[in-house]
């Protein structure tokens, strides 16, 4: 059996694959948003000096870093509806279960990224903000967070790409994302090479687009004026930001 | 005639990890006065400034701003530190300039100066920008307004930092070794801005190693050592006829 380009191209432009790819990206987006929000509060908790904030955050990160994502998804989809009748309703879809499940797991990792980003902001920054009379919340929002985001961006991009791939785990809870789509096709036709190759192309395209998006966002956080950028180039940023 | 001091500290004590950094400091500055504070590293002079700016709590003692106690209060014989919200309000009265500038690297020069106006005083963006531009003009940097800190020299950054503190119209300005982190050729422009500020009648406390600046601009010079004030005198007296052996020794090293 030779590689049949016609089957490959037919799948490449099929609506099944496109839908699958869209679902994979959507799960990744939603779980990343959820993970960032939860992760931010966990990071605040872990950097806090108060035990009643530190302990629950510590527990969360410890728990969800230990449990395999696959197990969390199975619990979300199979065990929770048994325990909570409300989750047996139609609105509790595989998409929702996958997004929340992966988001909960990812939050443990995002919290570590955000925590180290917050800690890496120079202490003098908070000091300067407080000296101006800013409240602790304003110091966080206007001074520390914008600088922490810049540091957290590259590892967050990594996590995002990871989530696109982790979304394939949702095949176990019957979400027809990209890999499930390929697998279903294979089960009918046995054209492994063609169907998997089409999936490869989709993953490559998705991750390439995300990488371009990431470098675009990172440039937004370059902190140079446009005139200086055209004159001196990006090396100004690399050598001088962070010194003061 | 005794004037009411703008800022006054009484019997200030501070200990870090068992090291007594301040051991009963008495200090005050009157309106329009410029006080230079000299002293070897680790003598506690920067710590005093941080306590006066309410950036760190004192172990005991009082800080008075225009006669009113700030930072803490007495309760049944114990010193109680005020909650962060009240401290934040009181800090607006005291301008602070740091050794390492501490400009916000994610904001342009004018935005650095604006931030206190918009986020602390609640002044509208447009008005804040015009006030910030005026202040940048005063430190000679109106043509650098849209530059980021990474695009400015150390001297320019420190001048923006001075503008950032000044724009909130504080009652007193504290300078914590404002020229120590600068290349030698950039020291002059910062001292010039500070000298002009002194001429406008601003009350200033300047922790510094710049003996010439202390001599020319200050009304009074203070020597700190071992967590206490060793000598306090007018510049002429301080530099030509110091009363304490410790001061003579210190001056022989810095000159």
- Both tokens assigned to B41: 């590293």
B100, B145, B150, best to mutate vs chain A, most A CBs in 10 Å: B150
Residues of A in contact with B98 (CB under 8 A): 124, 127-128, 131
Cβ <8 Å between B157 and A237 = no
Candidate from B84, B108, B120 with C-beta closest to A225: B108
Q: What are B8's strand-pairing partners?
A: B28, B64
Over residues A58-74, the mean pLDDT reads 96
pLDDT at A228 over 50: no
Nearest-angstrom CA–CA distance, B27 and B9: 5
pLDDT at A238 over 70: no
Residues of B in contact with A218 (CB under 8 A): none
For residue range B197-217, list pLDDT tens digits in order. 999 999 999 999 999 999 999
Candidate from B106, B150, B168 with C-beta closest to A240: B150
Q: Given this model, what pLDDT does residue B3 score?
A: 72
Q: Given this model, what pLDDT does residue A10 score?
A: 93
- Phi and psi angles of residue B173, each rounded to the nearest 5 degrees, phi first: -110, 130
Mean pLDDT score of chain A, rounded to an integer?
Answer: 90
SS (HEC) of A203-230: HHHHHHHHHHHHHHHHHHCCCCCHHHHH
For residue range B74-122, list pLDDT tens digits in order. 888 788 899 988 999 999 999 999 999 999 999 999 999 999 999 999 9
For residue range A26-55, list pLDDT tens digits in order. 999 999 999 999 999 999 999 999 999 999
If contacts are CB pairs under 8 Å, which of residues 214-243 in chain B contact chain A?
Answer: none
If contacts are CB pairs under 8 Å, which of residues 123-182 in chain A contact chain B?
Answer: 124-125, 127-136, 138, 142-143, 146-147, 150
Model confidence, pTM: 0.87
Candidate from A128, A129, A236 with C-beta closest to B151: A236
Over residues B154-167, the mean pLDDT reads 97
SS (HEC) of chain A: CCCCHHHHHHHHCCHHHHHHHHHHHHHHHHHHHHHHHHHHHHHHHHHCCCHHHHHHHHHHHHHHHHCCHHHHHHHHHHHHHHHCHHHHCCCCCHHHHHHHHHHHHHHHHHHHHHHHHHHHCCHHHHHHHHHCCCCHHHHHHHHHHHHHHHHHHHHHHHHHHHHHHHHHHHHHHCCCCHHHHHHHHHHHHCCHHHHHHHHHHHHHHHHHHHHHHHHHHHHHCCCCCHHHHHHHCCHHHHHHCCCC
Residues of A in contact with B168 (CB under 8 A): 132-133
Chain A's closest residue to B103, CA to CA, is A244
B170 to chain A, any CB pair closer than 8 A? The answer is no
Q: Given this model, what pLDDT does residue B2 score?
A: 60
Nearest-angstrom CA–CA distance, B9 and B30: 12
Q: Going edge to edge, which strands form the sheet with B5-16? A: B19-30, B5-16, B60-65, B68-70
Domains in chain A (CATH in brackets) are: 5-217 (1.10.3720.10)
Cβ <8 Å between A131 and B165 = yes
């Amino acid at each position: 059996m030779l590689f049949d380009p016609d089957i490959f191209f037919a799948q490449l432009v099929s609506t099944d694959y496109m839908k699958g790819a869209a679902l994979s990206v959507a799960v990744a987006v939603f779980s990343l948003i959820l993970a960032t929000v939860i992760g931010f509060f966990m990071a605040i908790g872990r950097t806090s000096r108060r035990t009643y904030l530190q302990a629950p955050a510590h527990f969360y990160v410890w728990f969800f870093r230990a449990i395999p994502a696959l197990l969390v998804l199975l619990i979300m989809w199979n065990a929770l509806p048994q325990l909570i009748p409300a989750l047996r309703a139609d609105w509790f879809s595989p998409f929702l279960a996958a997004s929340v499940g992966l988001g909960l797991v990812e939050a443990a990792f995002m919290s570590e990224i955000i925590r180290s980003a917050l800690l890496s902001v120079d202490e003098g920054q908070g000091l300067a903000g407080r000296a101006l009379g800013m409240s602790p919340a304003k110091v966080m929002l206007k001074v520390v967070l914008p600088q922490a985001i810049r540091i957290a961006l590259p590892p967050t991009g990594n996590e995002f790409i990871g989530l696109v791939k982790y979304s394939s785990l949702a095949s176990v809870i019957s979400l027809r994302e990209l890999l499930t789509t390929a697998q279903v096709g294979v089960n009918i036709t046995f054209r492994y090479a063609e169907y998997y190759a089409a999936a490869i192309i989709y993953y490559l395209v998705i991750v390439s687009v995300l990488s371009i998006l990431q470098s675009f966002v990172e440039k937004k956080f370059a902190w140079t004026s446009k005139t200086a950028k055209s004159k001196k180039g990006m090396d100004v940023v690399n050598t001088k930001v962070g010194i003061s | 005639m005794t004037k009411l001091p703008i800022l006054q500290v009484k019997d200030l004590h501070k200990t870090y990890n068992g090291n007594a950094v301040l051991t009963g400091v008495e200090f005050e500055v009157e309106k329009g006065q410029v006080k230079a504070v000299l002293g070897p590293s680790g003598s506690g002079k920067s710590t005093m400034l941080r306590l006066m700016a309410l950036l760190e709590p004192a172990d005991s003692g009082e800080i008075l701003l225009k006669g009113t106690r700030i930072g803490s209060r007495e309760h049944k014989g114990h010193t109680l530190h005020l909650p962060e919200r009240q401290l934040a309000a009181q800090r607006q009265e005291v301008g602070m300039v740091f050794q390492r500038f501490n400009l916000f690297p994610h904001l342009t020069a004018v935005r650095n100066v604006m931030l206190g106006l918009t986020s602390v005083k609640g002044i509208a963006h447009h008005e804040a920008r015009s006030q910030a531009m005026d202040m940048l003009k005063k430190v000679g940097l109106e043509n650098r307004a849209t530059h980021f800190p990474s695009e400015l020299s150390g001297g320019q950054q420190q001048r923006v930092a001075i503008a950032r503190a000044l724009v909130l119209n504080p009652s007193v300005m504290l300078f914590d070794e404002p020229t120590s982190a600068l290349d030698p050729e950039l020291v002059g422009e910062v001292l010039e801005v500070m000298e002009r500020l002194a001429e406008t009648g601003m009350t200033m406390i300047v922790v510094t190693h710049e003996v010439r600046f202390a001599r020319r601009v200050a009304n009074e010079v203070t020597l700190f050592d071992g967590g206490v004030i060793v000598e306090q005198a007018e510049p002429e007296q301080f530099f030509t006829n110091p009363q304490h052996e410790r001061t003579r020794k210190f001056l022989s090293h810095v000159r």
